[in-house]
Structure 1
C-alpha cells in the first residue's frame, strides 16, 4: 500500500482522511446492499454512512496490519543494524549520560547494557583524556557538524582499549531535547600497530641518528638522508649539503688501486644485488678536500613499499695508515734482515731457529735452509752447556737481556759481540722467543784503540799548553816585578845610599819612587786578580780595564748592552780574561791605533766582538804569537764554555774576533 502524494511528498493528516473517505465511497458502491425503498431517506443515509464507516474501519485495520508488519520488519532491521552492528553506537544526553547503546558498545565497554545505562560515559575514558572528551562533547552540542576524536578507554576490569569516536547532535521533535549520537570504532589493533611502528621508527631513527658510524640512506644513486656522524665525517654543517647528492659526490675519478671510481661503483652495486649485503673499502674526500679512507657496508632495507640502500661508513684512515705502516715496517724488517751488516738469528721459546740472515751465514758458514727449525744448541754444540741453557731460559722467562763480548767465530776471523734480546708478542708480558744480534767489533776495537791514543795525545798537548801558559804567565809576572817594582825599589835604595853624610835628605823624591812602586804593585795585582770584578761586576771591571790602557798607546772604544743583570761568576771571569788577553795581543802584536769592544747579552746568549785596525794576519789555528795563550788556546777556552769563535782577519786590514757564549 502506497499512501504517498503524487508529487512525492508525504500527505498531511487531513489529506489522508479525505483520501481514505474517497476510497471507502468507491468500495461501498461496489459492495453496499440495497435498503428497503420504503425506508425513510434518513434511514437510508444512515445505513450508507454506517456502511462507509465500516469499510473505513476495515481498510484502517488492513492498513494497521500492514503497518504492523512493516514496523516489525523495520524493528528487525533496526535490531540487526543497531544492536548487532560491528560498530558501537551510543546515545548520550547533553550531560554525557548514556541513554541508549548497542551490544557492540557494551562489549567494548566490558559490561552489560543494563549496568551501563544512565552512567556517565566519561567514567570509561582514561583519566588523562577526560578533558579532551568534554571538549569533544561540547563541540557536538554546539555544532551541526560531525565531530571526531580518538580516546583511550578503561574497562571496569582495568583493561584498556582505543576507540575512534564520531558524534553528531540530534534534537527531539517531540520535546526539543538535545542528545548526542556517538559511534565507537575500536582502533586498539591499529593504535597498537601504529604505536609499535612508531616505536620501531623511533628506535630506527635513534639508532640512525645516534650511531657512532656514519650512516646514509640511498635511493637509486642519490643520498636521501644522513645522520650527524656522516655530516661530521664529510665535514658538513647541515644535511642539505649532502642530501640529493649522487653517491659519487666527493669521490676522485680514480681509486688508489688504479680503477675508475664509476666502474667500481657499478661493480659494488652488482655484488650488492647478488648478495644482499656488501663490504668494501673506499677512498674519498671531505667537503674540505681532505682525503679519507672509509669502510663501506651496503645493505638493502625496506621502508614501507620502498627499497633503499642502508650504507654505513666507518673512517679507517688511521687503521689504513697503521696497516700501511705495519706493511712498510714488515718490508723494512725484511730488508734490514736481508741487508743488515750484523748477523741476525731469531729463535722461538724452545731455541729453534726461525730466521737466519745472510750475515749469519757468513759468520757461521751455515746456510739458512740447513739450520731453520733446528735447536741452536744442536747447531753450535759448544753452547750446549748447563750454564748457556740456563741463561737462555732466563731470557725467555724473565725478559732479561744478555750480551756476550768478544766471542770468536771459527768460519771468520775477528771478534764479535752477541746481543740476546727477548721477542715479545702483542701482549708485552708474553715472550715468544729471542733475537740474537751478532756484531763484528774487530774494526770498532781498532777504532777505540786509535781514539784512545788520540785522546791521550790531545790530553798531552793540552797539558803542555797549560804548562806553557803557566810558565809564560809566571815569566810575565816575574819580569813585571823585576823590571817594574824591583827597579823602583833598587833606585830608591841607590838614592838613599848615595846621599852624602851629613846632608839633608829629600823625602819627596823617595816618596815619589815608593809611590811608583806601590802603583806598579797594584797594577800587577789588578791584572792577576781584579777584585773590582767581584765587587762591582763585569761592566765596571771592563770599563776600568779600558781606562788603564794609555790612550796614546791605543784608543779603545767600549760598548756594553744587556748587562743589567749579573752573569754567572765563572762566565764573568772567563769573559774578562778573554777581553784582557785580546787587548794584550792587540797592544803587543797588532800595531793598531784604535780598537772596538762590543759586549751584548740577548736572552741566554752573550756576544763578544773585539775589532782593531792593526796589521792583521792570515787566519791559521796553528798561528801562535810569541807571548800569551795564542788563538788555539783562545779557541779551546771558548769551547770549554760551550761557545763558538769566529776570526776574520787579513794582512793590512785589521782583525775582528767574534765570540758567542751561552748564559747558563
Structure 2
C-alpha cells in the first residue's frame, strides 16, 4: 500500500478499534486478536463503502449539474468529427438548428451552412484542424424551416488518446447583434445628413452634434458639446416663445416650426427646426434630439414672391381703375353714338324721301313718255323693268342688302336673268326680252340655283330672290 492509502486508512482504523473496544471481550488471546483484526477490517470496509457511496452520489449530482448546464446553456455546444459529421450536440444547438438532437448525430454540419458561406466554412474548418488552437468565424446558417440566421463559431480541436482529433464548437446566435450593427451603421449615415442635428441629455446639455450642425452654425463639436442649446438664441424670440416650445415637447413629444438662431459669426438666420423627446421603457425622458435645416434661400424666395404679389395687386388695382375709367368713357361714347345714329337715321330717311321725290319729279315722267312712245311690246317691257329696278333702288336706299352680295357670284347675263326671275317673268318671256333661246335661259337658271345652293325643285328661285329684299 502506498503512503496516501495508509494515511487515509489510519483514521478509519482508529474508529474501527474504538468500536471493537466497546464490544464484549473474548477469552482466547489468539482468537481474540484475530477476531479483533477481522472486525476492524470489516468496519473499515463498511466505512469505505459508505464514503464511496457518498462520493458516487456527489459525482452523480455533479454530473447532472454539468449536463443541465451543458444542455440548457445560452449557447450551442457541438462536437464534430474530422469529416465534419456531428458526434454530439446540446439541446440549445438542436434548437438553434431546428432539428431534434437525436437526428443531428452523424449529419454533416455543412448541411446547415447557408449556400453563400459554404465554401468559406470548408476552408475555415480545414485550417482550424491544421493550425489548432482557438479559431473564430461568423457564418450564415440555415434553419430547417428555411430561415437564415447568423452565428459565431468558436472552435478548438480536441486531441484524445484513443480516438481521432475532434472539433469542439461553441455556437452563438448573433442575428440580433448583426441587426443592431446594421441599424447603427444606418443611424450613423442618417446622423450625417444635410440637416443639422443636436443631441442633449435630459437636462438639455449638448452631448453630440453632426457635421451639418457645425457647417450651418459655425460651432465645432468641441465648442458645442457640454453647453445648453440656448447659446444659439438669436434674441429675436422672447421667453414665452421658448416656454411654448418646451411645453409642446412635454405634451406631444415633439415640436416643429420656424425659429431664428444666431451663428458663431453673429449672423442671424432662419431655420426649420424639429425637437423630439426620447423616452425609456418607463416613459422617462432620457434625451432630446433637435434637427434643423437652414431656410434662408426659402425666406428670400418668399420675400420675392410677396413683393411680386404686392406689385401685381397694385397693378391689378390700377388696371381696374383704368378699366372703370374706360368703362365710363365708353358709356359716354355709346351715348354719343346713339345720338349720332338717331341723327343718321333721320338724315337717311330725309335723303330717301328727297331722292324718291326727285326721281318721281325728274325721271319717272320721262320713263312714262318713253313707254308711250315704245315701238313694240318688248321695248315697253324693258322700260317697265327699268322703272321697277329704279323704284327698288330708291326704296332700298340706306339699307344693307343681301342681293348685291349674292349677285357677286353670278355672271352679267346670270344677273339679268335673276333680275327678271325676281320680277316674276316666265322663262319664254325672259328669253324674248334678252334675245336668248328658252333653253339658254333654263341653263342660266340652273347655274344660278347651283351658285345660290338651291337644291331640289321645292326651292323656288323667284321666292328666294324676293326674300333677299324683305
Return the TM-score normalized by structure 2: 0.50
Contact 1:148 1:167 in 2 (8 A): yes
Aligned counterparts of 1:319 and 1:73: Cα–Cα separation in 2:
82
1:223, distance to aligned residue in structure 2 (A):
9.0
Distance 1:203 1:303, change over 3 A: farther
Q: Which of the numbers 187, 207, 211 marks the counterpart of 2:174?
A: 187
Q: Residue in 2 aligned with 1:548?
A: none
1:279, distance to aligned residue in structure 2 (A):
3.0
Bigger relative contact order, structure 1 or 2, given CA contacts below 8 A and separation 6+? 2
Q: Which of the numbers 268, 274, 283 marks the counterpart of 1:298?
A: 274
Q: 2:314 matched to 1:321?
A: no
1:241, distance to aligned residue in structure 2 (A):
6.2
Q: Residue in 2 aligned with 1:104?
A: 92
Q: 2:54 matched to 1:66?
A: yes
Aligned counterparts of 2:121 and 2:51: Cα–Cα separation in 1:
50
1:96, distance to aligned residue in structure 2 (A):
4.6
1:49, distance to aligned residue in structure 2 (A):
5.0
Q: Residue in 2 aligned with 1:309?
A: 290
Aligned counterparts of 2:278 and 2:315: Cα–Cα separation in 1:
49
Aligned counterparts of 1:66 and 1:139: Cα–Cα separation in 2:
42
Aligned counterparts of 1:245 and 1:409: Cα–Cα separation in 2:
83
Where do 1:340-355 residues align within 5 Å?
A: 344-345=322-323
Contact 1:298 1:311 in 2 (8 A): yes
Where do 1:115-154 residues align within 5 Å?
A: 115-130=103-118, 131=120, 135=124, 138=127, 142=131, 148-154=136-142
Contact 1:96 1:137 in 2 (8 A): no
Q: Which of the numbers 196, 199, 217 marks the counterpart of 2:197?
A: 217
Aligned counterparts of 1:38 and 1:278: Cα–Cα separation in 2:
110
The runs of 5 or more residues in structure 2 that have no matched partner are 201-205, 225-232, 249-253, 281-285, 337-470
Aligned counterparts of 2:64 and 2:104: Cα–Cα separation in 1:
23
Q: Residue in 1 aligned with 2:28?
A: 37
More strand by share: 1
Distance 1:298 1:79, change over 3 A: closer
Aligned counterparts of 1:320 and 1:132: Cα–Cα separation in 2:
65
Distance 1:265 1:177, change over 3 A: farther
1:74, distance to aligned residue in structure 2 (A):
1.8
1:68, distance to aligned residue in structure 2 (A):
2.2
Q: 2:258 matched to 1:280?
A: yes
Q: Which of the numbers 144, 151, 165 marks the counterpart of 1:163?
A: 151
Aligned counterparts of 1:303 and 1:138: Cα–Cα separation in 2:
48
Work out the number of aligned pairs and report it.
307
SS in 1 for 2:99: coil
Return the TM-score normalized by structure 1: 0.37
Distance 1:268 1:46, change over 3 A: same
Contact 1:28 1:55 in 2 (8 A): yes
Contact 2:275 2:288 in 1 (8 A): no
More helix by share: 2
Contact 2:218 2:263 in 1 (8 A): no
SS in 1 for 2:146: coil
Where do 1:349-364 residues align within 5 Å?
A: 356=324, 363=329
Contact 1:89 1:183 in 2 (8 A): yes
1:274, distance to aligned residue in structure 2 (A):
3.6
Aligned counterparts of 1:140 and 1:268: Cα–Cα separation in 2:
70
Aligned counterparts of 2:238 and 2:110: Cα–Cα separation in 1:
62
Distance 1:61 1:114, change over 3 A: same
Contact 2:136 2:152 in 1 (8 A): yes
Contact 2:218 2:264 in 1 (8 A): no
SS in 1 for 2:144: coil
Aligned counterparts of 1:49 and 1:72: Cα–Cα separation in 2:
34
Aligned counterparts of 2:207 and 2:109: Cα–Cα separation in 1:
53
Per-residue deviation, residues 397-437 of structure 1 (Å, max 9, x unmatched): xxxxxxxxxx3667xxxxxxxxxxxxxxxxxxxxxxxxxxx
Distance 1:293 1:26, change over 3 A: closer
Q: Residue in 2 aligned with 1:80?
A: 68
SS in 2 for 1:324: helix
Aligned counterparts of 1:330 and 1:162: Cα–Cα separation in 2:
67
1:20, distance to aligned residue in structure 2 (A):
4.1
Distance 1:218 1:60, change over 3 A: closer
Per-residue deviation, residues 360-411 of structure 1 (Å, max 9, x unmatched): 66x58xxxxxxxxxxxxxxx6x9xxxxxxxxxxxxxxxxxxxxxxxx3667x
1:311, distance to aligned residue in structure 2 (A):
1.0
Distance 1:222 1:312, change over 3 A: farther
1:82, distance to aligned residue in structure 2 (A):
2.0
Aligned counterparts of 1:189 and 1:95: Cα–Cα separation in 2:
31
Distance 1:109 1:223, change over 3 A: closer
Contact 2:273 2:290 in 1 (8 A): no
1:269, distance to aligned residue in structure 2 (A):
4.5
SS in 1 for 2:141: strand
Q: Which of the numbers 176, 179, 187 marks the counterpart of 1:201?
A: 187
Aligned counterparts of 1:202 and 1:76: Cα–Cα separation in 2:
48
1:102, distance to aligned residue in structure 2 (A):
1.5
Contact 2:77 2:90 in 1 (8 A): yes
